[in-house]
Structures are given as structure tokens and as C-alpha cells.
């Protein structure tokens, strides 16, 4: 498991190269495959230096949005996939939203577009970030991930995860994003009450880290078509339990418009799963483009 130091301001490609070299790639909710490893520094956002491919896809494909969630406020901006950073984008160290509706179709609390939107997730998000990054306005989106970044670990304000390097930082307000899109996942939480409690703690932690945040959007991990297990991949992490969706909605409903429910995204085809919660190349590109299309349509 890789926790980047807070002080050095390494280029994003260097930080990711190190992460790929030493991370724990065991199979779990953090996903396993890393693509083809390579070395060098390079300027191609689609890979780390000349060699490392962080899951950018060979074929693009398309994906499907199952739903955006009842009363969901519409997030803005757009995302891109982790082909991490041309030399200019680099990365920054961390020293240190969801406004549209109240979960019941209430008044919008924050107005898009946002100056800086930060996507925070575990390893699987890094697989499609590269495609996403290429399809959205890079000046207003950035990414931070932790390989095994489980929800209950991010709720701790003192967690070293919060000091991880920022990939492809926003042009302005990179250290103080006004929107945070968080992708929660847990291997231990299995009840509505447990999820709601941890999500509530997460919201408080994010508010403490970023006092100026105007929207906190909670977006579930990917799900299989119809949110049902696929014949070729029966990993439970490929299905989102109903209590997870319910917990996210409940926290949004109680937030007075700060928290909104993110899009519920399903892979288009079971063949997009490479095994566990990892994606194939087609899955990486398809999911990244789907997320980018959603946020481009809802800035």
C-alpha cells in the first residue's frame, strides 16, 4: 500500500511510477491489475513514462448510467482517466459540495461551474481516470487516490491518505477544491447504519479539510449490468448493495444541500470486468468516457 509523502512535490508521473513499483496488488475492492509496467518520466497522460499503462483502453466502448439517484444534484466539470499527467500538469502535495439538491428535489445550494473539483477514490478509479481526464476540462479537475482507500479509513482526519499527492492538479484552488467527488468502498461495513455513520463522519472530515467546499458528491463504485453478479465475475464488489445506495441518499437528505448523490454507473457488458473489480482495456475507456459525459452534461 502506497502513501505518498506530503512534502516533496514530485511530478505526477514519478509518484505513480513509485506507487506501481511498491504497491500491494492483492485482489480486493482496491482492484488488482495495473497494466503493463514500464519506466521513465514521459509526458503522455495515458501512461507513466514510456511504459506504465494505468488501464487506458484499447477500445473505447460505452457504458450505461443506471441512475443518478433520487433528488441528486448535478455535479459539474468532467473527469479524466489516469494516464497521469503531462510534464506541465505535475502534481502537488496536500497540506492540509454537494449543492444542487437536498436529496428530495429541494433548492440548489451551490452553483456550477466549480473552480476545482477533486475526485477521491481507490485504485479502480485510477484505471479509468486517464480516459476521463482527456475528455474533460483539465483546468477544473484533479485526482487523488489510495490503493486500498476504504471509507472507514478516510473518515479519520489524521489519516495519511489525506496527504497523498494530487494528480493533474486544478489550475487554481488545487489545495482548496470547492467540490469533492468521493467514491466510497468498504470490505467490512455491511449494514445501513454502519454505512450511514461512516459517511456522516466522512462529510465532517471533508468539511474540516476543505472549509470552502460547496459540494460533496458521493458516487458509488461501479456495478455490473442490472446490479447483478456476472457469470464471468462473481466478486461481490461488482454489485452495490441496496443499503449502500440508501445510506448515501440518507446522508444527502440530511445535509441541507451540501451533499448530493453521484451517478450510479454500470459497466455496459460483463466482459468489461477483467476479474474482481478490475476492468479490461475496453472497460477502462468505456467507464471513463461515461463518467466524463455525465459531468460534461452536468457541470
DSSP string, the chain: -----SS----HHHHHHHHHHH----SSTT---------S--S-TTSBTTTB--S--SS----EEEE--TTPPPP-S---BSS---TTT-EE-------S--SSS----S-SPPS-EEEEE-HHHHHHHHHHHHHS-GGGEEEEE-TT--HHHHT-TT-GGGGSPEES--SS-TTS-SEEEE----SS--SHHHHHHHHHHHHHHHHHH-TT--EEEE-PPPB-GGG--BTTB--GGGS--HHHHHHHHHHHHTTTTSEEEPPEEE-SSGGGEEETTEE-HHHHHHHHHHHHHHHHH--
- Look at residue 123 in the predicted model and tell me its pLDDT: 86
pLDDT tens per residue across all 299 residues of the chain:
434 444 333 444 344 443 433 344 333 444 333 333 333 333 333 333 333 333 333 333 334 444 333 333 333 333 333 333 333 334 444 443 333 333 444 334 455 689 999 999 988 899 999 999 999 998 999 999 998 889 999 999 999 999 999 999 999 999 999 999 999 999 999 999 999 999 999 999 999 999 999 999 999 999 999 999 999 999 999 999 999 999 999 999 999 999 999 999 999 999 999 999 999 999 999 999 999 999 988 87
- Look at residue 111 in the predicted model and tell me its pLDDT: 54
Whether domain 12-297 has CATH 3.10.20: the reply is no
- Look at residue 4 in the predicted model and tell me its pLDDT: 40
In 3D, which of 249, 16, 207, 226 has the Cα closest to residue 130?
Answer: 16
Question: Where are the domains positioned within the chain?
Answer: 12-297
b/e 195-234 (16+ beta carbons within 10 angstroms → b): bbbbbbbbbebbeebbeebbbbbbbbbbbbbebeebeebe
- Look at residue 298 in the predicted model and tell me its pLDDT: 82
CA-CA-CA-CA torsion sign (21, 278, 28, 249): positive
Query: Considering the entire predicted model, what is its pTM?
Result: 0.67
User: Cis peptide leading into 244, omega within 30 of 0?
Assistant: no
144-165: pLDDT as tens digits: 999 888 999 999 999 999 999 9
Amino acid at each position: 500500500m502506497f502513501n505518498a509523502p506530503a512534502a516533496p512535490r514530485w511530478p505526477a508521473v514519478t509518484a505513480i511510477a513509485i506507487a506501481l513499483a511498491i504497491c500491494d496488488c492483492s485482489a480486493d475492492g482496491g482492484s488488482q491489475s495495473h497494466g503493463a509496467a514500464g519506466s521513465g518520466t514521459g509526458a503522455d497522460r495515458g501512461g507513466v513514462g514510456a511504459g506504465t499503462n494505468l488501464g487506458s483502453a484499447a477500445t473505447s466502448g460505452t457504458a450505461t448510467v443506471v441512475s443518478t439517484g433520487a433528488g441528486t444534484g448535478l455535479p459539474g466539470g468532467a473527469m479524466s482517466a489516469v494516464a497521469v499527467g503531462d510534464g506541465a500538469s505535475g502534481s502537488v502535495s496536500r497540506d492540509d459540495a454537494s449543492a444542487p439538491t437536498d436529496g428530495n428535489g429541494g433548492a440548489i445550494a451551490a452553483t456550477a461551474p466549480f473552480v476545482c473539483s477533486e475526485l477521491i477514490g481507490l485504485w479502480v478509479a485510477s484505471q479509468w481516470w486517464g480516459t476521463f481526464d482527456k475528455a474533460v476540462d483539465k483546468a477544473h479537475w484533479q485526482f487523488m487516490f489510495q490503493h486500498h482507500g476504504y471509507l472507514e479509513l478516510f473518515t479519520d482526519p489524521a489519516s495519511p491518505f489525506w496527504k497523498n499527492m494530487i494528480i493533474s492538479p486544478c489550475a487554481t484552488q488545487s489545495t482548496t477544491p470547492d467540490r469533492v467527488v468521493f467514491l466510497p468502498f468498504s470490505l467490512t461495513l455491511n449494514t445501513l447504519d454502519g454505512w450511514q455513520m461512516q459517511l456522516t463522519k466522512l462529510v465532517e472530515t471533508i468539511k474540516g479539510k476543505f472549509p470552502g467546499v460547496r459540494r460533496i458528491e458521493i458516487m458509488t463504485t461501479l456495478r455490473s449490468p442490472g446490479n447483478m453478479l456476472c457469470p464471468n465475475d462473481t466478486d461481490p464488489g461488482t454489485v452495490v448493495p441496496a443499503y449502500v445506495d440508501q445510506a448515501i441518499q440518507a446522508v444527502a437528505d440530511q445535509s441541507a444541500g451540501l451533499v448530493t448523490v453521484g451517478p450510479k454507473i454500470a459497466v455496459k457488458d460483463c466482459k468489461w470486468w477483467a476479474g474482481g473489480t478490475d476492468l479490461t482495456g475496453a472497460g477502462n475507456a468505456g467507464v471513463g468516457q461515461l463518467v466524463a459525459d455525465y459531468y460534461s452534461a452536468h457541470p
